[in-house]
Amino acid sequence: MRLILLAAALLLATSAHAQDAARKLAQDAIIVDTHIDAPGILMDSWADLGNEAKDREFDYAKARAGGLDVAFMSIYTSARQDADGSAWQAANAMIDGVEALVQRHPDRFAILTSPKDAERLLQGGRVLLPLGMENGAPIGDKLENLKFFFDRGVRYITLAHSANNRIADSSYVIDKQWNGLSPFGRDVVKEMNRLGIMVDVSHLADGSAMEAINISKMPVIASHSAFRHFTPDFERNISDELAKAVAAKGGVVQVPFGTAFIDPASAADTQAHFRAINDFNRRNAELKAQGKPALDRARFDKDWEAAHPPHQSTLAQVLDQIDYGVKLVGIDHVGIGSDFDGVDGELPNELKTVADYPNLVAGLQARGYRDADIRKILGGNLLRTWARIEAGEGK
C-alpha cells in the first residue's frame, strides 16, 4: 500500500510539474489565434470584454490567464447579409465595436495592423486585436473597397463563407458558380497581394482555394481549417493537396478547436446542415415565385436541432490534427485558429475558452514537441508569414 501511495504522489507531482511548465511556456511564447468571433457577438449582445465576461469565450481576463497575445477579431458577414446588401454596414459596425473596445481599455487592448508593432504594443500586458474579414461580401463589386478595409485595419480576408459569392465558391454549396475564382475574384487576390492583405482560403471550395493559391504571388493562409484526412467527405476541411500547396507557397494552416471541424460525426452533420439550408432557401425562393407562403425557418432550425444533438470532442483530437499537419507539411506551416465564440460552445472540455491554451501546450509537450517548435505552432509561423506578405516577399 505504501508503494502505491508513493507512486500516486509521484504521479501527481509529475503532472503538476508538467502543468507548471505548460503555463510558463504559454505565458512566455507569443500566442496568435487567427479566428475569434467576438465582434459578431458584441453586435448581438454587448459585453465589456475588458473585464471578465462569464458568457464569453474571449475576454481580457481569460486571455491573460491563457497567455493569448494576438487575437484576430473575425469581421464575419453572412450569405444572407451579402444577398440583402447589408454586409458593408455590418462589417463597419463590427470594426467600430472593436475600436470602441480598444478606446475603452487602451491599457488592455490595442489594434494590431503590422507584425512589426507586436512587441512594442504588447508592453504592459495588452492583448492585440488585428482584424480578419470572414467572407469577402462587404467588398461588394468594388475593388477600391479593399483599400478602404485595409485602412480600417483588416489584414486577412476569407474570400467566401457559406455560399458562393462574387469572388469564389463556398465549400458548403453543392452547385459551384465559378469552379475556381470569378474574374473579379482574380483581381481581388491580386489587389490583396498589392496591399499586403493575407489571402485566406478557409471555407472555400477546392477549386476556388487552389486557384487563389496558384495566382497569389504571396503566401496564403487557411485561418481556421482542420485537415480533411479525418473527415473525408467534409470539403470545409482542407485536403492534403491544398495543405501542401499552402505550405509550398510559404503559408500556414491554422487548426481550429471546434467540434464541428475535428470530430467526424459532427463534421458530417455540419455538412448536411448547410446543404439542408441551401435546399430550404431554394424551396422558399420557388414558393415566393409561385406566390405561396414561405416555409418557417424557426421551425426548420428547431426540427434540425432535435434530430441532430451535439457531439463531443477532445483535446486529443486537436492534437491529432496538429500531429497530422506537422507530418504532412512540416513544423513551419501549422498554427492555431480556434473559432472561439463562433461554434456555440461546441469545443473540447479542455479547450473551452482562451484561458485554456496551457492545456494545448501541455498536450504538445506530452507528445514530444520541443518548446521551440511549440512556439512556432502557437504563433511564430503566422507572424513570419504575415511579415513576408506585408513586405511583399513572395515564393
Quote the cell numbers at residue 154.
483588416
Instruction: State the pTM of this model.
Output: 0.94
pLDDT digits 0-9 by tens, 277-309: 888 988 988 999 999 999 999 999 999 999 999
Per-residue pLDDT at 132 exceeds 90: yes
Per-residue pLDDT at 1 exceeds 70: no
- In the block, cell 520541443 appears at 370
Per-residue pLDDT at 13 exceeds 50: no
Q: What is the pLDDT of residue 277?
A: 86
pLDDT digits 0-9 by tens, 145-176: 999 999 999 999 999 999 999 999 999 998 99
Quote the cell numbers at residue 296.
418557417
Confidence label for 275 from pLDDT (cuts 50, 70 and 90): confident
What percent of the chain stands above pLDDT 70?
95
Q: What is the pLDDT of residue 160?
A: 98
pLDDT digits 0-9 by tens, 251-265: 999 999 999 999 999
Give mean pLDDT, residues 220-241: 97
Give mean pLDDT, residues 337-345: 97
Q: What is the pLDDT of residue 4?
A: 59
Q: Quote the CA–CA distance of 306 and 383 in Å, as a whole number.
A: 42
DSSP string for 173-208: -SS-SSSSB-HHHHHHHHHHHHHTPEEE-TTB-HHH
Per-residue pLDDT at 9 exceeds 60: no
Q: What is the pLDDT of residue 278?
A: 81
Confidence label for 11 from pLDDT (cuts 50, 70 and 90): very low
Confidence label for 3 from pLDDT (cuts 50, 70 and 90): low
Round the average pLDDT of the chain to a whole number and report it.
94
Q: Which residues contact 146 (CB under 8 A, 6 or more apart)?
A: 139, 157, 188, 191, 192, 195, 197
Q: Measuring CA to CA, which residue among 192, 183, 184 is closest to residue 154?
A: 192
Q: Quote the CA–CA distance of 300 and 150 in Å, as a whole number.
A: 38
Q: What is the pLDDT of residue 321?
A: 98
- In the block, cell 500556414 appears at 252
Confidence label for 356 from pLDDT (cuts 50, 70 and 90): very high
DSSP 233: T
Give mean pLDDT, residues 63-77: 98
Q: What is the pLDDT of residue 10?
A: 43
Give mean pLDDT, residues 359-376: 98
Provide the Cα torsion 351, 352, 356, 362; round to 10°. Answer: -20
Quote the cell numbers at residue 204.
472555400
* Distances 388 to 111, 196, 393 between C-alpha atoms, Å: 20, 9, 5
